[in-house]
Every structure is written in C-alpha cells, then in structure tokens.
C-alpha cells in the first residue's frame, strides 16, 4: 500500500532498477529522452482544451490563449513531418485514433477489410463487433498474407473488386514489409473505397523517411501512436490531405470518445518531433539494420524467423515461430531471464514478436544483435539455467543506459 511519498519513490526506484537490468525488445515500446520526459510535467497537464474539429480557436474553456497557440504549432510540426495538410492531435492513443476513423467514416452495414488479430492486426473492427449493436451494423473481412508474412496484394485486389468494402485499413502490430497501398489506389478510385493506414508501429520509420509514407503512396487517411518506433510520449494522431475526411473523423472523435485530450503530452510531442527531424533518418536506418541483423542471427542459430525469403523484415520488428522449442508462454519464460518481448498464440504455433527501437536508441548496433540472438538461443534452445542467463542479461543491459539520437 502507498501511504507516503517515500513509498511512491521506492516503488518507482524499484521499477527503474528492474528495467535497467532488462533487455527490452518489446516492439510497441521505446525509450524517450530525458528532455522529452521533462516536458510532460508542464502546467498543461491540469488544463482542458476542448474544441470542435474545424474551429480549434473556439475553445470550450477559457484560459486557453497559449495552449491554443502551442497546439496549433505542434499540429504544424506533425503535418510537416508526415507531409499532410491536416492533423488532429486529440486522440490519446493510436487505438482511439483508429476507432475515430472507423466510426467517422462508416455507415450502418458498411464493410471493412482489415488485418485480423490472428495476423498481428490491431483489431479495430473485429473486437468492436463483440458489442452487440456494432456486431449488427459493421461488417468485416480480413486481408490475406503470403508465405513471407506480407499482404497478398493480388488477393486483396480481388477482395476489393468482389466485396466492395467502404474502407480498407492497412497496418498492424506485426508489419514486416510495406503494404500494397499504391497497388490498391486505382481500384479504390474505381470502387469508391477509402484507404486508411494504421501507422502505429511504423510511425517513427515514416517520420525518419526509411519506410514509405502511406499518404504519398495513396492512403486517404493515416492514424497512429507516438510511442512505438516513434520515441515520443504516449498519444495518438490522425493526418490526411482530405479536409472532409479529417472533419468526419474529428467529429466522431470528440466529444464522443475524448474531451480532455491530455494536453501535457503536446510539449513532449513537439520536442520528440524536433529530435526526429534532427536524428530520425539516422535512427531509422539503424533500427532496420539491427532488425535485419538480429533476424539473420536468430535464423543462423536455428530459429524459424518468418519472412526469411524476403530478407526477414524491413521494419523495427521480426516474428519468430518458437513452437519447436516451447509450447506455451515463451514471452513469460524469456522475462525470467530479463528478456522482454511479446508472444502470440492465435495461430497453430506460438510466435514471439521482437522489436529493436529501444535497444537501438540505447546505442546498440549489429554486433550487439549477435549477442542478443545468442541469449535467445541459450534460453529457448539450449535450455540453459535461467538465472545464469539473467545475470548475463543484467550485466549486458547495464552497459546501455544512455539515450542516443536525442537532444
């Protein structure tokens, strides 16, 4: 129980010491710089900034003179880095941004094609249908993937022509390769389909210009989060070059999904964008180098790394089928050694998702990826004593506590 400030400080200290000893390979997390973290503590955190979508200067609460100025300036930074005409920063997470896109665009009984949870999708429409009235009003189909865990473009084209969906949502939490947005643009124009892109995982790679910008590829609207491959504070955004779309989505977002949109994240977001403008390209290139190096090293040690025939990955993450070595809970087992990643049991065999954003931000490069692959082998293949591996993980991780690619 927390009774005093000392209790709070002690528990936070334990957390920080624990994380310093862990090797964090969770693809949906990152390591924000101390500068970015410090900006989360501004007075904005106690204020409201509610407004209607197309009239952000008309704030519901008074006292917003400089909050409005700051939010609009941060919008400009977001529009610039993602090369968009319009931006909405009110989603407080990538999933909320996606929900606003779905609810703002769809009408009753419209069909959506998205990535299924079984294929590492974020599950926007599928889980919504578990709520009875959504189940009765929104229809969903799922795009197919090829043997390399890439979207099957020809299959998706055929689905678009035959099923005539209102909305196609690209992107998910297991994106290894760029999706065929450009290939679907002509069919979308012919069929009146809206193309959306869930960039939550690859936002930092897009900002660093090492991954295709969906808006330039033909997506009508893009949404995502700012704390995965993008090393900013937790939060979400929507961007588009279509004024009508951004208005529809913004009107669905607020006030039904959010009123107070956690203004304290805006200064931190602004600074993280400045960091990405300065270091994002170099950082993004190293993330992909590390992902490829780690995937290759794991493959060479006997692991079944998905996408091998296409070079494993072109993003910040890789997917590894570990069913040969462990039947359940691979991520929980690896956690005992201080190795943090994510697992999935939706398929026939358990997979782990491994990401390189945080270890890259801490200064690790291709050489360190070889050592990390050996740690995975020691735990999952060699079945080495878990405490022995944990000691080595702790010693290794303690060498990388600084934040690179940052102010």
Nearest residue to 275 via CA among 225, 245, 230, 320: 230
In a domain, residue 21? The reply is: no
pTM exceeding the 0.95 threshold for the entire prediction: yes
Q: Specify whether 220 is located in the same domain as 237.
A: yes
pLDDT tens figures, 190-199: 999 999 999 9
For the chain, helix, strand, coil in percent to 5 are 45, 15, 40
Q: Specify whether 323 is located in the same domain as 299.
A: yes
Angstrom distance (rounded) from CA 322 to CA 304: 7
Range of the domain at 88: 35-272
Q: Specify whether 66 is located in the same domain as 103.
A: yes
Cα angle at 352 between 350 and 357, to 5 degrees? 170
Domain containing 289 — which CATH number? 3.90.1150.10
ω into residue 255 within 30 of 0, thus cis? yes
Structural domain total, the chain: 2
Domain containing 268 — which CATH number? 3.40.640.10
Burial letters 167-193, b for 16+ CB under 10 A, else e: bbbbbbbbbbbbbbbbebbebbeeeeb
At residue 137, the pLDDT reads 87
Domain-terminating residue out of 272, 297, 324 = 272
For the cut 80, the answer to whether the pLDDT of residue 385 exceeds it is yes
In a domain, residue 5? The reply is: no
Domain-terminating residue out of 272, 299, 330 = 272
For the cut 90, the answer to whether the pLDDT of residue 133 exceeds it is no
Domain-terminating residue out of 272, 295, 319 = 272
Nearest residue to 406 via CA among 368, 369, 364, 362: 362
Q: Specify whether 160 is located in the same domain as 116.
A: yes
Q: Specify whether 123 is located in the same domain as 235.
A: yes
The token duo for 330 is 């691979």
Q: Specify whether 371 is located in the same domain as 257.
A: no
pLDDT tens figures, 191-241: 999 999 999 999 999 999 999 999 999 999 999 999 999 999 999 999 999
Nearest residue to 101 via CA among 265, 241, 240: 240
At residue 243, the pLDDT reads 98
Q: Specify whether 195 is located in the same domain as 153.
A: yes
Angstrom distance (rounded) from CA 136 to CA 177: 34
Q: How confident is the model at residue 345 (pLDDT cuts 50, 70, 90)?
A: low
In a domain, residue 15? The reply is: no
Q: Specify whether 268 is located in the same domain as 300.
A: no
At residue 347, the pLDDT reads 67
Q: Where are the beta strands (DSSP E) in 219-341?
A: 221-225, 236-240, 304-305, 317-321, 339-340
For the cut 70, the answer to whether the pLDDT of residue 346 exceeds it is no
| Residue 314 β-bridge partners | none
Q: Specify whether 80 is located in the same domain as 199.
A: yes
pLDDT tens figures, 149-190: 999 999 999 999 999 999 999 999 999 999 999 999 999 999
């Amino acid at each position: 129980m927390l009774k005093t400030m000392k209790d709070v400080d002690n528990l936070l200290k334990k957390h920080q010491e624990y994380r310093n000893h862990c090797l964090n390979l969770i693809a949906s997390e990152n390591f924000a710089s101390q500068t970015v973290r410090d900006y989360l503590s501004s007075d904005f955190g106690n204020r409201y900034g509610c407004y209607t979508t197309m009239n952000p200067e008309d704030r519901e609460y008074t006292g917003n003179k400089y909050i409005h100025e700051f939010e609009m300036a941060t919008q400009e930074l977001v529009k610039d880095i993602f090369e968009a005409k319009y931006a909405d920063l009110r989603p407080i997470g990538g999933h909320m941004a996606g929900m606003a896109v779905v609810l703002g665009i769809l009408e009753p009984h419209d069909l959506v094609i998205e990535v299924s949870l079984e294929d590492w999708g974020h599950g926007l429409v599928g889980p919504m249908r578990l709520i009875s009235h959504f189940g009765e009003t929104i229809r969903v189909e799922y795009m197919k993937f090829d043997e390399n865990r890439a979207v099957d473009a020809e299959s998706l084209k055929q689905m678009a022509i035959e099923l005539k969906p209102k909305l196609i949502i690209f992107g998910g939490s297991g994106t290894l390769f760029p999706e065929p947005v450009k290939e679907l643009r002509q069919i979308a124009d012919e069929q009146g389909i809206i193309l959306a892109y869930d960039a939550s995982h690859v936002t930092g790679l897009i900002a660093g210009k090492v991954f295709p910008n969906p808006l330039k590829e033909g997506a009508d609207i893009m949404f995502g989060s700012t704390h995965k491959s993008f090393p900013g504070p937790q939060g979400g955004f929507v961007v588009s070059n279509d004024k009508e779309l951004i208005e529809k989505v913004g009107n669905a977002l607020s006030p039904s999904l959010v009123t107070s949109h956690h203004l304290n994240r805006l200064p931190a977001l602004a600074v993280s964008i400045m960091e990405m403008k300065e270091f994002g390209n170099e950082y993004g290139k190293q993330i992909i180098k590390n992902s490829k190096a780690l995937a290759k090293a794991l493959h060479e040690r006997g692991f079944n790394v998905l996408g091998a025939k296409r070079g494993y990955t072109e993003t910040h993450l890789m997917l590894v089928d570990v069913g040969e070595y462990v039947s359940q809970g691979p991520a929980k087992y690896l956690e005992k050694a201080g190795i943090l990643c994510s697992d999935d049991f939706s398929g026939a065999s358990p997979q782990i998702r491994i990401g390189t954003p945080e270890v890259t931000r801490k200064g690790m490069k291709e050489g360190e990826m070889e050592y990390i692959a050996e740690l995975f082998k020691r735990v999952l293949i060699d079945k080495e004593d878990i405490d022995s591996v944990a000691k080595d993980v702790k010693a290794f991780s303690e060498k990388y506590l600084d934040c690179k690619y940052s102010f």
